[in-house]
Amino acid sequence: MKYDFDTIVERKQTHSTKWSKFSDPNIIPMWIADMDFICPREITDAMHERIDQGIFGYTDTPNELSQILKERIKLNSGWDIEEEWVTWVPGAVVALNISCKTALAPGEIVVTPSPIYAPFDEASKNMSRGMVKNFLKDNNGRMELDFDATESLLSKDTKMLFFCNPHNPGGTVFNKKEITQLVEICEKHNVIICSDEIHSDLILQDDLRHFHLASLNEYAKLNSITILGPCKTFNLAGFPLAAAIIPNKELREDFVRNTKGIVSHIDNLAFVASKAAYRDAGEWHKELTEYLKENKRILKEEINKVDGLSLSGPEAGFLAWIDCRETKLDAPGDFFINHAGVGVHDGEWFGNKNYVRLNFGCPRSVLNESIERIQKAFSQRN
């Protein structure tokens, strides 16, 4: 490997949200979705060069960024977007919120998957819109859509459906057949789909590929908001930046109007980092994916040896959704944190307290240490 994913980098002194969460220094933080890997020189060199210029005023979106994104999407999936479809915003969560404001009038409702990354739930509340939960099914560890339940939730007031593909926390990469069925239901009920696809660059199985929902057909194209961004792929969470891709002109103009006065200027270093990442860090991304595949393989093998725990995914990303139902623990998250010393994300935050989410985007030695702790704590349980 050309790049180093093994070195442990001290992060506590940087006010890292991940590393500041637990007051007990012996707990290994494996919760929030950023990775403990250093960005490659291809990104940091570009940032150094920008910093050395020394003036950090309000900055327009560099035209090349949408062009680079367009070329990247075309190359990776064949989806042919136009640059003008892209609106850049400071982070995917901003796009989720603005989508609620745009697609729903007060009193209208969004269908939101459950479990889900909590800001999806919060977006409708923030915008004073309604929300109904669409519970996913656990099919032998793969979190799947329940199409009948989904359709039963659609009424004249449900005007948008949130989709998260690859899914966070479940790790499912929804395939074309599943997406086709979902779009058919949405078309029947005239529902817009907001599809968060920010984990789609990190597919961990050779037999899977990401399929952009908006590329399915004309209905999906004209009734969707696709959210993509470099922050998960290149570990740039501290520089929030995401693309909302909206082919429908009217919907796009509404979306842009709704950002006015609310959404701040994008950080100029976020532009620099993201451009360098997309343009120059392809090799790092490839090696990262291989490293994550191996971390996942080890984690899955070892977690499944523990009585009561079960893990089958994720099919993408660096977040493992561990099924703890068979442990019969009331609060599995608490057990991992306070008995094993492994600072997982409690499943309750995503809507199911019988699971925990573990971030394995870390050096292998840290992963191995956390696995040993989990195995020891569960073996000593009485």
Ligand X SMILES: Cc1ncc(COP(=O)(O)O)c(C=O)c1O
Interface positions with ligand X (CB under 6 A): 33, 91-93, 117, 164, 168, 196, 198, 229, 231, 237, 240, 242
| Residue 316 φ/ψ, nearest 5 degrees | -150, 160
CB of 198 to ligand X, least distance (A): 5
In terms of Cα–Cα distance, which of 193, 147, 196, 131 is closest to 169?
196
The distance of closest approach from Cβ of residue 76 to ligand X in the complex, given in angstroms and rounded to an integer, is 18
The alpha carbon dihedral of 231, 193, 356, 292 has a sign of negative
Q: How far is CA 313 from CA 207, 300, 323, 326, in A?
A: 14, 8, 10, 17
Q: How far is CA 297 from the centre of its chain?
A: 20
- Looking at residue 336, the DSSP 8-state letter turns out to be I
Nearer to ligand X, 88 or 336 (CB): 88
Provide the token pair at 228: 């993509």
Contacts of the segment 331-339: beta carbons below 8 A, 24+ positions apart: 332/356, 335/377, 335/381, 336/374, 336/377, 337/22, 337/27, 339/377, 339/381
Q: Which is nearer to ligand X, 333 or 341 (CB)?
A: 333
- Residue closer to ligand X, measured from CB, 91 or 341: 91
| CB 268, min distance to ligand X, A | 17
Pick 35 or 329: Cβ nearer ligand X? 35
Q: Looking at beta carbons only, is 222 or 237 nearer to ligand X?
A: 237
Residue whose beta carbon is closest to ligand X: 91
Q: Shortest approach of ligand X to residue 94 CB, angstroms?
A: 6
Nearer to ligand X, 99 or 327 (CB): 99
Q: How far apart are CA 236 and CA 239, in angstroms?
A: 5
Q: How far is the CB of 201 from ligand X (least distance, A)?
A: 13
Compute the distance between CA of residue 275 and CA of residue 69 in angstroms, rounded to an integer.
9
Least distance (Å) between residue 32 CB and ligand X? 7
Our CB check for ligand X shows the closer of 115 and 341 to be 115
CB of 237 to ligand X, least distance (A): 5
Nearer to ligand X, 85 or 120 (CB): 120
* Nearer residue to ligand X within complex by CB, 345 or 373: 345
Minimum distance of ligand X from residue 227's CB (angstroms): 7
Nearest to 311 by CA among 371, 229, 361: 371
> 69-87 burial, b if ≥16 CB within 10 A, otherwise e?
bbebbeeeeebebeeebbb
Euclidean distance between CA atoms 375 and 305, whole angstroms: 8
Q: Find the shortest distance in angstroms from Cβ 119 to ligand X.
A: 6
CA-based nearest residue to 321, from 308, 307, 310: 310
Q: Where are the alpha helices (DSSP H) in 78-189?
A: 92-103, 119-126, 147-152, 176-188
